Protein backbone atom coordinates (compact mmCIF):
# COMPACT_ATOMS: atom_id res chain seq x y z
CA UNK A 1 0.00 0.00 0.00
CA UNK A 2 1.32 3.44 -0.96
CA UNK A 3 2.27 5.83 1.83
CA UNK A 4 0.81 8.95 0.23
CA UNK A 5 1.99 11.28 3.00
CA UNK A 6 5.59 10.22 2.38
CA UNK A 7 5.09 10.46 -1.39
CA UNK A 8 3.72 13.99 -0.95
CA UNK A 9 6.76 15.11 1.01
CA UNK A 10 9.08 13.50 -1.55
CA UNK A 11 7.24 15.40 -4.30
CA UNK A 12 7.83 18.69 -2.50
CA UNK A 13 11.44 17.93 -1.59
CA UNK A 14 12.36 16.37 -4.94
CA UNK A 15 10.33 18.39 -7.46
CA UNK A 16 9.08 21.63 -5.91
CA UNK A 17 11.92 22.97 -3.75
CA UNK A 18 14.70 22.24 -6.31
CA UNK A 19 12.73 24.24 -8.93
CA UNK A 20 13.25 27.54 -7.10
CA UNK A 21 9.84 27.47 -5.43
CA UNK A 22 10.51 29.35 -2.20
CA UNK A 23 7.05 30.60 -1.19
CA UNK A 24 6.59 28.97 2.21
CA UNK A 25 2.79 29.32 2.12
CA UNK A 26 2.67 27.53 -1.23
CA UNK A 27 5.02 24.78 -0.06
CA UNK A 28 2.86 24.26 3.03
CA UNK A 29 -0.27 24.05 0.86
CA UNK A 30 1.26 21.43 -1.40
CA UNK A 31 2.36 19.43 1.64
CA UNK A 32 -1.14 19.63 3.06
CA UNK A 33 -3.45 18.91 0.09
CA UNK A 34 -3.82 15.17 -0.68
CA UNK A 35 -3.38 15.13 -4.47
CA UNK A 36 -4.36 11.45 -4.65
CA UNK A 37 -7.88 12.26 -3.44
CA UNK A 38 -8.59 14.16 -6.65
CA UNK A 39 -7.71 11.26 -8.96
CA UNK A 40 -9.68 8.16 -9.94
CA UNK A 41 -8.47 4.96 -8.24
CA UNK A 42 -6.80 3.77 -11.45
CA UNK A 43 -4.36 6.69 -11.47
CA UNK A 44 -4.08 7.56 -7.75
CA UNK A 45 -0.73 5.76 -7.53
CA UNK A 46 0.66 8.29 -10.04
CA UNK A 47 -0.39 11.31 -7.98
CA UNK A 48 3.06 12.46 -6.92
CA UNK A 49 5.12 11.58 -9.98
CA UNK A 50 6.69 14.25 -12.19
CA UNK A 51 4.10 13.95 -14.96
CA UNK A 52 0.70 15.18 -16.15
CA UNK A 53 -1.62 12.67 -14.50
CA UNK A 54 -4.83 11.66 -16.37
CA UNK A 55 -8.04 12.58 -14.55
CA UNK A 56 -10.61 11.95 -17.31
CA UNK A 57 -11.01 9.94 -20.50
CA UNK A 58 -12.03 11.30 -23.89
CA UNK A 59 -14.53 9.94 -26.37
CA UNK A 60 -12.01 7.36 -27.59
CA UNK A 61 -11.26 6.33 -23.99
CA UNK A 62 -7.84 7.90 -24.06
CA UNK A 63 -6.65 10.50 -21.54
CA UNK A 64 -8.22 13.86 -22.40
CA UNK A 65 -7.73 15.85 -19.18
CA UNK A 66 -4.70 15.83 -16.93
CA UNK A 67 -3.40 17.53 -13.82
CA UNK A 68 -0.45 19.81 -14.43
CA UNK A 69 2.90 18.50 -13.28
CA UNK A 70 3.40 19.51 -9.63
CA UNK A 71 6.47 21.59 -10.48
CA UNK A 72 4.72 23.53 -13.25
CA UNK A 73 1.66 24.18 -11.10
CA UNK A 74 3.81 25.39 -8.19
CA UNK A 75 5.93 27.71 -10.35
CA UNK A 76 2.85 29.20 -12.03
CA UNK A 77 1.16 29.86 -8.69
CA UNK A 78 4.34 31.36 -7.23
CA UNK A 79 4.68 33.67 -10.24
CA UNK A 80 1.10 34.84 -9.73
CA UNK A 81 2.01 35.96 -6.19
CA UNK A 82 -1.38 35.02 -4.71
CA UNK A 83 -2.25 37.05 -1.61
CA UNK A 84 -4.59 36.16 1.25
CA UNK A 85 -7.26 38.62 0.11
CA UNK A 86 -7.14 37.71 -3.59
CA UNK A 87 -10.06 36.48 -5.67
CA UNK A 88 -8.84 33.72 -8.00
CA UNK A 89 -10.36 32.10 -11.08
CA UNK A 90 -9.07 28.55 -11.63
CA UNK A 91 -9.78 27.68 -15.28
CA UNK A 92 -10.04 23.96 -16.02
CA UNK A 93 -9.93 22.90 -12.38
CA UNK A 94 -10.74 19.27 -13.33
CA UNK A 95 -11.40 17.41 -10.06
CA UNK A 96 -10.32 20.38 -7.96
CA UNK A 97 -6.74 19.72 -6.83
CA UNK A 98 -5.38 23.06 -8.06
CA UNK A 99 -8.37 24.87 -6.53
CA UNK A 100 -7.66 23.23 -3.17
CA UNK A 101 -4.05 24.44 -3.27
CA UNK A 102 -5.13 27.95 -4.29
CA UNK A 103 -7.75 27.98 -1.54
CA UNK A 104 -4.95 27.72 1.03
CA UNK A 105 -3.43 30.93 -0.34
CA UNK A 106 -6.32 33.14 -1.50
CA UNK A 107 -9.44 34.67 -0.03
CA UNK A 108 -11.76 32.99 -2.53
CA UNK A 109 -11.50 30.71 -5.56
CA UNK A 110 -13.92 30.20 -8.43
CA UNK A 111 -13.20 26.73 -9.83
CA UNK A 112 -14.38 26.62 -13.46
CA UNK A 113 -14.90 23.24 -15.14
CA UNK A 114 -16.92 22.38 -18.24
CA UNK A 115 -16.87 18.60 -17.76
CA UNK A 116 -19.92 17.96 -15.56
CA UNK A 117 -18.56 14.73 -14.05
CA UNK A 118 -15.29 16.40 -13.09
CA UNK A 119 -17.14 19.38 -11.60
CA UNK A 120 -19.22 17.03 -9.43
CA UNK A 121 -16.10 15.22 -8.28
CA UNK A 122 -14.46 18.54 -7.44
CA UNK A 123 -17.43 19.59 -5.31
CA UNK A 124 -17.47 16.25 -3.48
CA UNK A 125 -13.76 16.11 -2.70
CA UNK A 126 -13.48 19.76 -1.71
CA UNK A 127 -16.45 19.36 0.63
CA UNK A 128 -14.99 16.17 2.12
CA UNK A 129 -11.75 18.03 2.85
CA UNK A 130 -13.63 20.88 4.52
CA UNK A 131 -12.50 23.52 2.00
CA UNK A 132 -15.20 26.19 2.06
CA UNK A 133 -13.78 29.14 0.12
CA UNK A 134 -14.03 27.46 -3.31
CA UNK A 135 -17.09 27.77 -5.55
CA UNK A 136 -17.25 25.16 -8.33
CA UNK A 137 -19.02 26.44 -11.46
CA UNK A 138 -19.68 24.85 -14.85
CA UNK A 139 -19.31 26.46 -18.25
CA UNK A 140 -17.02 26.78 -21.29
CA UNK A 141 -13.48 27.25 -20.09
CA UNK A 142 -12.56 29.80 -22.74
CA UNK A 143 -15.37 32.11 -21.59
CA UNK A 144 -14.11 32.36 -18.03
CA UNK A 145 -16.67 33.24 -15.38
CA UNK A 146 -17.65 36.91 -15.79
CA UNK A 147 -20.37 36.69 -13.11
CA UNK A 148 -17.70 36.85 -10.38
CA UNK A 149 -15.18 39.04 -12.23
CA UNK A 150 -12.92 40.89 -11.88
CA UNK A 151 -10.23 38.64 -10.42
CA UNK A 152 -6.85 39.34 -8.90
CA UNK A 153 -5.44 36.11 -10.35
CA UNK A 154 -6.46 33.74 -13.14
CA UNK A 155 -4.72 30.37 -13.52
CA UNK A 156 -5.11 28.09 -16.56
CA UNK A 157 -4.76 24.41 -15.71
CA UNK A 158 -3.44 23.42 -19.12
CA UNK A 159 -1.96 24.77 -22.29
CA UNK A 160 -3.41 27.39 -24.59
CA UNK A 161 -2.31 27.84 -28.19
CA UNK A 162 -3.65 31.40 -28.32
CA UNK A 163 -3.57 34.44 -26.06
CA UNK A 164 -6.56 34.05 -23.72
CA UNK A 165 -7.89 37.53 -24.56
CA UNK A 166 -11.43 36.86 -23.32
CA UNK A 167 -9.99 36.28 -19.87
CA UNK A 168 -7.95 39.50 -19.91
CA UNK A 169 -11.15 41.51 -19.50
CA UNK A 170 -11.89 39.58 -16.29
CA UNK A 171 -8.68 40.73 -14.59
CA UNK A 172 -8.65 43.54 -12.06
CA UNK A 173 -6.26 46.43 -12.47
CA UNK A 174 -2.98 44.91 -11.32
CA UNK A 175 -4.33 41.41 -11.93
CA UNK A 176 -2.20 38.51 -13.10
CA UNK A 177 -2.97 35.59 -15.44
CA UNK A 178 -0.60 32.63 -15.60
CA UNK A 179 -0.66 29.79 -18.13
CA UNK A 180 1.35 27.55 -20.42
CA UNK A 181 1.40 28.92 -23.97
CA UNK A 182 1.84 26.40 -26.79
CA UNK A 183 1.55 22.61 -26.97
CA UNK A 184 4.96 21.59 -28.27
CA UNK A 185 8.27 21.09 -26.52
CA UNK A 186 8.87 24.79 -27.20
CA UNK A 187 5.99 25.81 -24.91
CA UNK A 188 6.46 28.61 -22.40
CA UNK A 189 4.93 29.39 -19.05
CA UNK A 190 3.65 32.96 -19.28
CA UNK A 191 2.43 35.69 -16.97
CA UNK A 192 0.10 38.44 -18.20
CA UNK A 193 -0.38 41.57 -16.10
CA UNK A 194 -3.11 44.17 -16.44
CA UNK A 195 -2.05 47.78 -15.85
CA UNK A 196 -3.58 51.02 -17.08
CA UNK A 197 -6.20 49.02 -19.00
CA UNK A 198 -3.51 47.24 -21.00
CA UNK A 199 -2.22 43.68 -20.66
CA UNK A 200 1.47 42.89 -21.05
CA UNK A 201 3.07 39.44 -21.29
CA UNK A 202 6.33 38.05 -19.92
CA UNK A 203 7.76 34.55 -20.43
CA UNK A 204 8.62 32.68 -17.23
CA UNK A 205 10.16 29.30 -18.06
CA UNK A 206 10.00 26.44 -20.57
CA UNK A 207 6.94 24.26 -19.99
CA UNK A 208 4.62 21.77 -21.64
CA UNK A 209 1.08 20.81 -20.70
CA UNK A 210 -1.99 19.10 -22.12
CA UNK A 211 -4.21 21.48 -24.09
CA UNK A 212 -7.34 22.83 -22.45
CA UNK A 213 -10.64 22.57 -24.35
CA UNK A 214 -11.48 25.79 -26.17
CA UNK A 215 -7.95 27.14 -26.29
CA UNK A 216 -6.79 25.62 -29.60
CA UNK A 217 -5.55 27.82 -32.42
CA UNK A 218 -7.98 28.08 -35.33
CA UNK A 219 -6.75 26.29 -38.48
CA UNK A 220 -5.36 28.67 -41.06
CA UNK A 221 -6.88 28.81 -44.53
CA UNK A 222 -4.64 27.52 -47.28
CA UNK A 223 -5.15 28.96 -50.77
Question: Active-site residue numbers?
Answer: 64
Distance between CA atoms of 76 and 21, rounded to whole angstroms?
10
Distance between CA atoms of 83 and 40, rounded to whole angstroms?
31
Q: How many CA atoms lie within 13 A of 53 on its CB side?
A: 26
Helix axes 4-11, 24-32, angle to 10 degrees: 160
Q: Which residues in 125-161 are b (16+ Cβ under 10 Å) and which e?
A: bbeebebeebebeeeebbebbeeebebbbbbbbbbbe
> Mind spelling out the 3-state secondary structure of 34-80?
CHHHHCCCCCHHHCCCCCCEEEEECCCCCEEEEECCHHHHHHHHHHH
Strands 53-57 and 63-67: antiparallel
Amino acid sequence: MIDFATARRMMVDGQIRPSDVTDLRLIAAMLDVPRERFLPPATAALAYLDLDVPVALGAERGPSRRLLKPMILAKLIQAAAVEESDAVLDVGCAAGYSSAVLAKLAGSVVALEEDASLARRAEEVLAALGITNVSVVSGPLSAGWPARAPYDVIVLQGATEVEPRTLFSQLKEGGRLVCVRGRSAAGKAMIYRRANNEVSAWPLFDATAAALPGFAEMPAFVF
